[in-house]
């Protein structure tokens, strides 16, 4: 007898949680290899070699690529006609809890009031779910383990719009300099622009984690800004794990939304060298297929 749709969803989600935890996304791994090809400082090249060897060992042993397996984040594109909706939240949480024990993953969720860790990477508002409603009868689910050191340097600003475009590059570069080695460079820098600080940081997080390395915004002016920021960041001399090399960032991604006439909000979010994501497309009949990249952009 065919298994239920709920069982299929859980099975598929467990697979992407494991896949994302074991290694960085393929585009990130390729970018790390290209970074090794262009890095000139030997200490920095050694760091990149160690990173790439770590990726190989994690894959060979089916173990987490980093001891910090982050907080569980799901990005869900949910079709209007997909038959399971509110139940999806519990299914995602159950999948995370089971994979935490099976891989295993480090339990990272802590009750901020009681200072108690439930031990299974779930809790109030965790897993965190960012959901978009779309036409169709499918659920496209992307898992991203994110948190810890890459969140410490994250920034949110709301500034007057008059000279915001002139201020934006300095805000980004200052954030990268202040972050230094904390977010485990080489990093992906996500920049969000919008009307509220919440909107800007949410867009920045999507940009940092969901867009493939090398992709560019469809808006030509924003794409040019991405290129300019990437070049400027890689001239700062921070390098892999702060060793002073030329590969501080693998990429810079900028996303924007419309703003209020009186405000210009900017969010800056970092994603580390072990940027991990895995995506599955689940059909309403229970069939599922894995996708190389999510379709958020």
* Mean pLDDT, contiguous 10-residue spans, the chain (297 residues): 85 98 96 96 97 97 95 98 96 98 96 97 97 97 93 96 97 98 97 97 98 98 98 97 96 98 98 97 97 94
The number of domains in the chain is 2
Q: What are phi and psi of 41, to 5 degrees?
A: -85, 130
Residue in the block written with tokens 């400027």: 232
Cis before residue 127, ω within 30 degrees of 0? yes
Could you tell me if 141 and 155 lie in one domain?
no
Could you tell me if 227 and 213 lie in one domain?
yes
Domain membership of residue 61 (yes or no) is no
Could you tell me if 90 and 227 lie in one domain?
no
Could you tell me if 169 and 264 lie in one domain?
yes
Query: Which residues is 288 bridged to in the sheet?
Result: 282
Domain membership of residue 48 (yes or no) is no
Angle between helices 5-22 and 87-102 (to 10 degrees): 50
Contact status, residue 27 vs residue 19, Cβ threshold 8 Å? no
Q: What is the pLDDT of residue 1?
A: 38
Could you tell me if 183 and 196 lie in one domain?
yes
Q: How many CA atoms lie within 13 A of 233 on its CB side?
A: 33
For residue 126, the 8-state DSSP code is B
Provide the token pair at 159.
């500034």
> Is 269 in a helix, a strand, or coil?
strand
The boundaries of the domain holding residue 246 are 151-271
Provide the token pair at 172.
């980004």
Domain membership of residue 179 (yes or no) is yes
Could you tell me if 130 and 167 lie in one domain?
no
Q: How many CA atoms lie within 13 A of 94 on its CB side?
A: 12
For residue 277, the 8-state DSSP code is -
Q: What is the pLDDT of residue 2?
A: 58
Could you tell me if 284 and 189 lie in one domain?
no
Q: What is the pLDDT of residue 147?
A: 83
Could you tell me if 130 and 12 lie in one domain?
yes
For residue 2, the 8-state DSSP code is P
């Amino acid at each position: 007898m065919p298994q239920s749709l709920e069982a299929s969803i859980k099975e598929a989600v467990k697979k992407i949680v494991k896949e994302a935890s074991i290694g960085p996304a393929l585009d990130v791994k390729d970018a790390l290899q290209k970074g090794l090809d262009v890095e000139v400082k030997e200490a920095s090249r050694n760091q990149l070699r160690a990173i790439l060897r770590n990726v190989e060992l994690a894959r060979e042993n089916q173990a987490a690529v980093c001891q910090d397996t982050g907080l569980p984040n799901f990005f869900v594109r949910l079709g209007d006609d997909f038959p399971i909706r509110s139940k999806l939240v519990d299914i995602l949480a159950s999948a995370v809890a089971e994979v935490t024990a099976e891989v295993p993953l480090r339990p990272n969720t802590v009750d901020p009031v009681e200072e108690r860790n439930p031990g299974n990477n779930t809790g109030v508002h965790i897993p965190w779910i960012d959901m978009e409603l779309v036409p169709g009868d499918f659920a496209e689910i992307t898992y991203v383990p994110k948190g810890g050191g890459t969140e410490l340097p994250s920034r949110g600003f709301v500034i007057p719009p008059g000279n915001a475009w002139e201020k934006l590059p300095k805000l980004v570069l200052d954030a990268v300099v202040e972050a230094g080695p904390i977010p485990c460079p080489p990093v992906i820098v996500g920049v969000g622009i919008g009307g509220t600080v919440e909107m800007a940081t949410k867009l920045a997080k999507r940009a940092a984690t969901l867009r493939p390395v090398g992709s560019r915004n469809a808006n030509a002016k924003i794409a040019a800004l991405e290129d300019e920021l990437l070049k400027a960041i890689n001239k700062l001399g921070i390098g892999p794990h702060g060793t002073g090399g030329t590969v501080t960032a693998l990429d810079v991604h900028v996303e924007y939304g419309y703003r209020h006439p009186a405000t210009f909000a900017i969010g800056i979010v970092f994603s580390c060298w072990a940027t991990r994501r895995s995506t599955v497309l689940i059909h309403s009949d229970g069939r599922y297929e894995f996708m190389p990249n999510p379709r958020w952009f």
